[in-house]
């Protein structure tokens, strides 16, 4: 299960205490315990030639990025997610998700198991109650993966506006607490920045199924099993936690039921923000509820089965592909596709979803991606705003249609009660000040 926790040349395995102090772990002793909800962390140093001895403090200024290990597992299916409309939510669906760790792929030939379907809308031979290897560990074969502990930050930014940059530049990547989240970046630039980051570690932008793998682990016996507290920092600073749980969803304004700010008047900075962690302690993953919406590599296929670029020539991902609405939004170009952008990467680096014109055909999920399995779904109205929500903590639930072909996860600091690890949305793929991304490292 843990063989890939041994140090890479560029990665150190640390112990992080409750004050956020980082020390190099001794590989002769066990510094993590998933059974005790203490997940294995890792750090990448700014100076990779620097040597630290066991238990020596690694100064924060020497750290470039934090990662957390997600071991391979199979989980027990509780709902196949075959929903194609809004009805009423069912809060009894929220439960501890049974998980079994192990470098093992489930099979239809073994009773109580099923082969992972892997395709949009497919259930294969899976039934409720079966155990299924999570697809995140199959599409890119691995014994697990490392996920950025925080939303990706923009190195050197001293204000939230300085962290807005639509560019391909791996040198700007930092993954740390209390930094400005990198935003206003098209999906293609985000993907290729992450792809260029650590090629020797198969770095890439997080996929929808990889987000689902983290979310399910969070709600297993090995995670906090609760609604992760929102990061409501209005300057998009990573690792923060709201002081109070919101009581309403997206309100457009800073209502008392959904407060957000950029100081201690309503939120708390890392390392004292453990309620915003997937484990309820400092070892977990942050910013999966609120902060800013995170683009993930999950994209709609057009009617010919090809991945879409975006809405039109004004609002697109920067990947070559078709447009869902080429004459919408005052775009009079009439272009039906983008041809001068980046080519899509290998299929293993993105999740592809079957074509649809509406955002309620949830059954197009890839089993395990943390979308349709969170049903049933309904509308909820908070003050003047009406949104689709799921049965799991009333998190937002918008599935990709042809006009919004790119997947989002987690919600924003303004989404209040409807942000969360199980929140999912849809977007153009364009550069937006309210969209960020996250990085994955996979053992090679």
pLDDT at 341: 98
Residue 60 resides in a domain: yes
pLDDT at 113 exceeding the cut of 60:
yes
Give the containing element (helix H, strand E) for 95.
Answer: none
Contact 243, 165 (CB under 8 A): no
If we measure between CA atoms, which residue out of 47, 5, 48, 76 comes closest to residue 443? 5
State how far the Cα of 313 lies from the Cα of 331, in Å rounded to an integer: 7
Helices (H) and strands (E) in the chain, counts: 2, 25
Kind of pairing between the strands at 308-310 and 321-323: parallel
As given in the structure block, the two tokens for residue 11 are 């990665």
Contact 430, 310 (CB under 8 A): yes
Residue 50 resides in a domain: yes
State how far the Cα of 416 lies from the Cα of 420, in Å rounded to an integer: 9
Contact 224, 197 (CB under 8 A): no
Query: For residue 291, with 0-12 CB atoms within 10 Å meaning exposed, 13-18 middle and 19 or more buried, which class applies?
Result: buried
State how far the Cα of 429 lies from the Cα of 185, in Å rounded to an integer: 9
Q: What sign has the CA pseudo-torsion 207, 212, 215, 216?
A: negative
pLDDT at 3 exceeding the cut of 50:
no
pLDDT at 385: 83
φ and ψ at 77, to 5 degrees?
A: -70, 130
Average pLDDT over residues 312-327: 97
**422: pLDDT confidence band, cut at 50, 70 and 90?**
very high
pLDDT at 9 exceeding the cut of 80:
no
Residue 5 resides in a domain: yes
If we measure between CA atoms, which residue out of 424, 404, 406, 407 comes closest to residue 415? 424
pLDDT at 27: 78
State how far the Cα of 439 lies from the Cα of 287, in Å rounded to an integer: 13
State how far the Cα of 361 lies from the Cα of 354, in Å rounded to an integer: 10
Average pLDDT over residues 236-249: 97
State how far the Cα of 314 lies from the Cα of 252, in Å rounded to an integer: 25
Contact 277, 228 (CB under 8 A): yes
Average pLDDT over residues 311-322: 98
State how far the Cα of 395 lies from the Cα of 418, in Å rounded to an integer: 4
Residue 149 resides in a domain: yes
φ and ψ at 232, to 5 degrees?
A: -105, 25
- Write the pLDDT tens digit of every residue in 132-164: 999 999 999 999 999 999 999 999 999 999 999
Rounded-to-5 percentages of helix, strand, coil across the chain: 15, 25, 60
- Write the pLDDT tens digit of every residue in 32-47: 999 999 999 999 999 9
- Write the pLDDT tens digit of every residue in 72-100: 999 999 999 999 999 999 999 999 999 99
Give the pTM. 0.97
If we measure between CA atoms, which residue out of 367, 423, 375 comes closest to residue 250? 423
Expressed as residue numbers, the domain containing 84 is 1-307+344-444
- Write the pLDDT tens digit of every residue in 160-198: 999 999 999 999 999 999 999 999 999 999 999 999 999
State how far the Cα of 236 lies from the Cα of 153, in Å rounded to an integer: 10
- Write the pLDDT tens digit of every residue in 355-414: 999 999 999 999 999 999 999 999 999 878 899 999 999 999 999 999 999 999 999 999
Average pLDDT over residues 431-438: 98
Contact 390, 398 (CB under 8 A): no
**245: pLDDT confidence band, cut at 50, 70 and 90?**
very high
pLDDT at 322: 98
* C-beta atoms surrounding 270 within 10 Å: 23
Residue 243 resides in a domain: yes
Residue 313 resides in a domain: no
**28: pLDDT confidence band, cut at 50, 70 and 90?**
confident
**6: pLDDT confidence band, cut at 50, 70 and 90?**
very low
pLDDT, averaged across the chain: 96
**5: pLDDT confidence band, cut at 50, 70 and 90?**
low
C-alpha torsion 427→69→394→271, nearest 10: -100
Residue 32 resides in a domain: yes
State how far the Cα of 233 lies from the Cα of 407, in Å rounded to an integer: 23
Residue 329 resides in a domain: no
* C-beta atoms surrounding 202 within 10 Å: 17
Greatest CA separation for the chain: 64
Q: What's the structural domain count of the chain? A: 1
């Amino acid at each position: 299960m843990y063989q890939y926790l041994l140090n890479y040349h560029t990665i150190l395995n640390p112990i992080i205490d409750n004050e956020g102090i980082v020390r190099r772990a001794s590989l002769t002793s066990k510094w993590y315990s998933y059974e005790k909800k203490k997940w294995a962390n890792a750090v990448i140093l700014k100076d990779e030639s620097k040597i630290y001895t066991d238990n020596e403090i690694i100064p924060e200024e020497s750290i470039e990025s934090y990662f957390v290990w997600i071991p391979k597992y199979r989980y027990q299916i509780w709902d196949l997610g075959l929903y194609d409309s809004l009805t009423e939510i069912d809060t009894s669906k929220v439960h501890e998700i049974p998980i079994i760790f192990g470098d093992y792929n489930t099979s239809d030939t073994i009773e109580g198991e099923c082969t992972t379907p892997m395709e949009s809308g497919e259930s294969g031979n899976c039934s409720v109650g079966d155990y299924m290897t999570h697809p995140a560990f199959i599409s890119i074969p691995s014994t697990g993966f490392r996920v950025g502990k925080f939303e990706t930050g923009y190195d050197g930014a001293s204000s939230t506006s300085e962290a807005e940059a639509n560019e391909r530049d791996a040198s700007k990547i930092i993954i740390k607490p209390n930094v400005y989240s990198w935003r206003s970046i098209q999906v293609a630039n985000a993907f290729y920045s992450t792809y260029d980051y650590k090629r020797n570690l198969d770095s890439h932008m997080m996929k929808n199924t990889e987000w689902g793998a983290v979310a399910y682990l969070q709600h297993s016996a090995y995670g906090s099993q609760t609604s992760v507290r929102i990061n409501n920092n209005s300057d998009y600073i990573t690792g923060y936690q709201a002081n109070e749980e919101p009581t309403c969803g997206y309100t457009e304004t800073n209502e008392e039921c959904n407060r957000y700010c950029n100081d201690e008047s309503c939120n708390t900075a890392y390392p004292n923000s453990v309620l915003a962690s997937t484990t309820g302690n400092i070892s977990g993953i942050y910013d999966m509820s609120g902060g800013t919406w995170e683009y993930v590599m999950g994209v709609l296929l057009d009617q010919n089965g090809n991945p879409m670029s975006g809405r039109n020539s004004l609002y697109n991902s920067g990947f070559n592909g078709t447009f869902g609405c080429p004459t919408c939004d005052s775009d009079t170009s009439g272009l039906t596709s983008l041809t001068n952008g980046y080519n899509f990467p290998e299929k293993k680096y993105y999740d592809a979803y079957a074509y649809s014109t509406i955002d309620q055909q949830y059954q197009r999920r890839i089993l395990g991606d943390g979308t349709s399995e969170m049903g049933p779904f309904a509308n909820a109205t908070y003050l003047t705003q009406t949104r689709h929500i799921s049965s799991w903590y009333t998190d937002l639930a918008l599935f990709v249609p042809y006009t919004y072909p790119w997947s989002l996860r987690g919600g924003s600091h303004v989404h209040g009660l409807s942000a969360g690890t199980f929140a999912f949305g849809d977007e153009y793929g364009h550069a937006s000040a309210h969209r960020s991304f996250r990085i994955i490292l996979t053992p090679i």
